[in-house]
Amino acid sequence: MLNQFIGISPKSDLLLLQLLGAKLYKRSFLHINSTRTGGGVAEILQRMIPILQELGIDARWEIIEGDPVFFDITKKIHNSLQGNPEKFAKKMWQYHYEINRKNAEYLNLEADAVIIHDPQPAPLIEFKKAGLWIWRCHIDLSNPHTQVWDYLSRYIAKYDATIFSVAKFARAIPIDKFIITPSIDPISEKNRGLREEEITETLNKFQIPVDRPIILQVSRFDRFKDPVGVIKAFRIVKKYNDCILILAGSPATDDPEGEIVLKEVREYAADDPDIHILLLPPFSDKDINALQRIATVILQKSVREGFGLTVSEAMWKGKPVIGGAVGGIPLQITHGITGFLVNSIEGAAFRVRQLLNDPEMSRRIGENAREHVRKNFLITRQIRDYLSVWYSLQNKGRSILEM
Amino acid sequence: MAEVTEPFEFRQCISILKSTGKKAKDLRKLREIITLISDECIFHHTYQYFLKGHILEYTNDFAQWAGESLEERALSEHLSNIDPYDFKAINDLRNKLLEVIDNYLENFPEPREAMPGDEFYFNETVTFIFPIGIRVKNLAEFLTALKYVDVGAIYYHFFEARIRLGAGIDDFSRWIEVALGKKELVDKIRAIDPFMHTVEGIREHLAEAVEDEVKRGMEVIDRCLTSL
């Protein structure tokens, strides 16, 4: 499997992966999260575990099981950590602990290194047997509800280290705090190269005309992704350039606001034949891939964002991306070099016009974007970083490690 | 092409980021934390700036933050003018940063605050150094490798080497001097200003200088042929 990354991932990442694999050969590496399907964490673990095993590491992936009450509590924890106020009672924390205790009874927690993903399984640290335990936080902790974080951090402080996605998400706790950005898998269905006929199939399926430039945003119908703002920007652009807009996203069934936002978007689009609103069912990875590949300019006009990995997915296709200057987007887009960062509808419209009118600039930015993702946001780099954290914790206190 | 007894072995460094958990929202807080943080943290925000592939508007993270987040342009220019390779110890560099900030605060005692989320986040790194399995014995092989290796290898031998070797010397020019004795090429490489290029830009300049030297070697053969 690792061979598939030769010629795609940076040579040095593959080399360091092998060197670290040799150092950690036959050692056991356990990952625990709360779901095997859905969401970015499960997606990456599915791809990562076989690669770790191929490196000779005894990698395992376990999930904790819980009932709807447990997941309702952990959803509340998640929301509060992202800054949304939620009411919390002590018994909720007790339930959170209790479900973890039950899971600990049957889970094999013995490993040389254990990565616990997100708050759901965080209390498992109380049942640590041996090895290095690392808490991996995938969510934006820059402005958490203080009481909730204070309670959760009692568990976190017992870990050997934490990993956050962005420096500004890291909290001041007295253990090592590593920063590892998320990544995309270049050979997955969402990102692999597509044949011409595969792209045509998607175009036909959604009846997308290809006679004009295509502006695209792929995201949930969520106010934080500002789909109405995207239409407003498109209307400004249309005064100067003939083009079409595609808004593609999942219906967000777990989000009651999703329906309302979608309705607003449809009303605002008002049957404009040049605006295509596509509701993509789950597992539409190939279609998303194809849409990104036929787009002229891709938008991610978020007004609030976690890391915003869809930006890297679009950049990987060599497209110029215009992103809101929020969350992890500025880490992916260097303004004017690998894309454009904007702070308003007018700013987004201006950059779209600029790119439509300067194909050479579009090409150059798209090329830089793909290279930036290749160097920084591929899955091989993320696996390299996980192993680096493990190895550096074994060599604690040393800031330079000669391999 | 003459081969040498001491080949050049390419190595590379890769760093993983660690947060110190400290952040500053204005210049006074930045100053206060700079006095306290580890040498590794200062090292990361200054010397390792070039590993990040920024546009060449600034030369270190402090200058970039002053310019982009505080919009204190003059301070940003003062900070960008600090050359970390001028200092023998990190503490001297730390003192220079403090001196520049103090001077600025004397003239502008009420600097603005960064927007929430735009604070300066103090980080440090753990750096992995490893051989990349490429060893060259002459200038032509060196040129091929130079074009092929990842930027992390160029960074390690051109930027990081200056800290190890001191006196503005990099691994490449040292090898060419010691093993090949090509003084003119050595001078050309040492004349490349590390602050005025990205790591990719450095690679291009190095390759250009080495290629000229390799071509000159080939022209000698041409002249030999025409004299026949």
Please give the ipTM for the structure prediction. Answer: 0.87
pLDDT of residue A78: 87
Closest chain B C-alpha to A388 CA, distance in angstroms: 7
Q: What is the pLDDT of residue A88?
A: 84
pLDDT band at residue B56 under the 50/70/90 scheme: low
* pLDDT of amino acid A256: 66
A254 bridge partner residues: none
Nearest to B150 among A12, A167, A403 (CB): A12
Kindly state whether residues A383 and A351 are assigned to the same domain: no
In chain B, where the domains are located:
8-12+127-226, 19-124
Contacts of B47 in chain A (CB under 8 A): none
What is the predicted pLDDT for the residue at A223? 86
Residues A338 and A382 in one domain: no
* A309 shares a domain with A164: no
What residues pair up with A324 in beta bridges, in sequence order? A342
Q: Are residues A201 and A326 in the same domain?
A: yes
Report the pLDDT value the prediction gives residue A260, as an integer from 0 to 100: 87
Instruction: Collect all residues of chain B within an 8 Å Cβ-Cβ radius of residue A384.
Output: 14
Closest Cα partner for A18 from A51, A64, A59? A51
Residues B111 and B218: their CA atoms lie apart, in Å, by 60
pLDDT over 80 (residue B2): no
Tokens of B21: 């958990």
pLDDT tens, position by position, B132-164: 999 999 999 999 999 999 888 999 999 888 888
Can you give the pLDDT at residue A253? 55
Q: Is the pLDDT of residue B196 over 90?
A: no
Q: Could you tell me if A132 and A202 lie in one domain?
A: no
* Number of domains chain A is built from: 2
Same domain, A296 and A364: yes
Residues of chain A whose pLDDT is less than 50?
Answer: none
Q: Is the pLDDT of residue B220 over 70?
A: no
Which chain A residues have any C-beta within 8 angstroms of a chain B C-beta? 10-13, 15-16, 19, 142-143, 164, 167-168, 170-173, 176-180, 334, 336-337, 372, 375, 384-385, 388-389, 392, 398-403
> Residue A157: what residue type?
A
What are the φ/ψ torsions at residue A382 (nearest 5 degrees)?
-70, -40
Partners of A387 on chain B (C-beta within 8 Å) are none
* CB-based burial label for B125 (10 Å; 0-12, 13-18, 19+): buried
Please check whether residues A27 and A130 belong to one and the same domain: yes
Residues of chain B positioned with their CB less than 8 A from the CB of A164: 19
Between CA B168 and CA B165 the distance in angstroms is: 8
Residue of A179, A334, A385, A389 to mutate, testing the B interface (most B Cβ within 10 Å of its Cβ): A179
Which ranges of A189-284 would DSSP assign to H, the alpha helix? 196-206, 227-238, 256-269
Domain of residue A226: give its range: 196-376
pLDDT tens-digit profile of B35-53?
999 999 999 999 888 777 6
pLDDT band at B222 (very low <50, low <70, confident <90, very high): low
Q: How far apart are CA A311 and CA B178, in angstroms?
A: 47
* Cα B3-B4-B7 angle, rounded to 5 deg: 110
- Residues B148, B215: Cα–Cα separation, whole Å: 19
**pLDDT at residue B37, rounded to an integer:** 95
Query: pLDDT, tens digit, for every residue of A110-150?
Result: 999 999 999 999 999 999 999 999 999 998 888 889 999 99
What is the model's pLDDT at position A358? 98
Question: Residue A366's domain is classified under what CATH number?
Answer: 3.40.50.2000
pLDDT digits (tens, 9 = 90+) for A308-361: 899 999 999 999 999 999 889 999 999 999 999 999 999 999 999 999 999 999
Burial class (CB in 10 A: 0-12, 13-18, 19+), A87: exposed
Three-state SS string across A62-79, please?
EECCCCHHHHHHHHHHHH
Is A159 within the bounds of a domain? Answer: yes
